[in-house]
Amino acid sequence: MAKIIECIPNFSEGRNQVVIDGLVATAKSIPGVTLLDHSSDQSHNRSVFTLVGDEEGIQEVAFQLVKFATENIDMTKHEGEHPRMGATDVMPFVPIKDVTTEECVEISKKVAERINKELAIPVFLYEESATSPDRKNLAKVRKGQFEGMPEKLLQEEWAPDFGERKIHPTAGVIAVGARMPLIAFNVNLDTDDVEIANKIAKIIRGSSGGYKYCKGIGVMLEDRKIAQVSMNMVNFEKCPLYRTFETIRFEAKRYGVNIIGSEIIGLTPVKALADVAEYYLQIEEFDFNKQVLENHLLG
């Protein structure tokens, strides 16, 4: 069966419709690739594209998009609320079907090498592709932003993974890497006390001692007058949805608070849901690849 890889490049242009249309046209021009979604934010002055494709197509479209962005976005004139360091700011590759994270790491390295070779843009490898622990986290890599990059690249520990210690004059620097699909999963509580949601978020998120592959904060849903634990599940295989759900359930109990619902925002790989069903139904020896009918339909 054909491998399917997702690529979610972020471009530092969210206002100039001509440039955005050009990116869309480029995304649609490569065989074996589907543009699932794209959205532009005016105040961020940033566009996010979601593409899926086979091994060959996704590499080609990734490169062609960076090329177009390099030729059409000038970072010396860019203003926007969102942190950014390049015309193409960040470009993650995500395993979707019949492909491993390791293979996506290889793909990210090939694309990064070509970007540097043909477009002379320095590239940092991040997340699963990172060459040191310091480079895993995008925020750390991007710190200093476009304006601070010329100086940052000269620092001992910040030599790019591909290219010289010198930014591209108008396209800046790019972060390329592989990561697992991210699922935005929120759990609603029957309380209007956001502090309870905050306390539970602290317990479950990796950064404060909880599940390594879960990020979480407490938020107040003002319109419904309820508190929510809002999470990013960054690796649903190593930390499945039911695990944070059940943990939130038993932690909320101490406050006499119950779960009243949850939501998944945007897309989820279906395997994340199948894993949940497998857990609650206590299914023995379920083979997702073989037993799910739809898995026999793709390619």
Pairing of strands 4-7, 46-53: antiparallel
Check binding of 1 to its own copies (CB under 8 A).
no
Applying CB under 8 A, among 105, 173, 241, 257 the residue interacting with its own copies is 241
Over the range 234-268, which residues count as b (16 or more CB within 10 Å of their CB) and which as e? bbbeebbbebbbebbeebbeeeebebeebeeeeeb
Applying CB under 8 A, among 1, 148, 212, 286 the residue interacting with its own copies is 286
Check binding of 97 to its own copies (CB under 8 A).
yes
Check binding of 96 to its own copies (CB under 8 A).
yes
Applying CB under 8 A, among 86, 163, 181, 218 the residue interacting with its own copies is 181
Residues numbered 244 to 273 that lie near its own copies (CB under 8 A) are 245, 259-264, 266-270, 273
* DSSP letter (8 states) at residue 238: T
Q: Cα-flanking dihedrals φ and ψ of residue 130, to 5°?
A: -60, 145
Least CB distance to its own copies at residue 62 (A): 18
Nearer to its own copies, 106 or 246 (CB): 246
Instruction: List residues with catalytic annotation.
Output: 82
Least CB distance to its own copies at residue 224 (A): 11
Applying CB under 8 A, among 156, 157, 223, 297 the residue interacting with its own copies is 297
3-state secondary structure 214-231: EEEEEEEECCCCEEEEEE
End-to-end CA distance of the chain: 5
CB 227 within 8 A of CB 196: yes
Residues that contact its own copies, how many (by CB under 8 A): 43
Applying CB under 8 A, among 34, 101, 198, 232 the residue interacting with its own copies is 34
Check binding of 277 to its own copies (CB under 8 A).
yes
**DSSP of 41-82:** ETTTTEEEEEEEE-HHHHHHHHHHHHHHHHHH--GGG---SS
Residues that bind its own copies (CB under 8 A): 4, 6, 34, 36, 52, 96-97, 181, 188, 241-242, 245, 259-264, 266-270, 273-274, 276-278, 280-286, 291-298
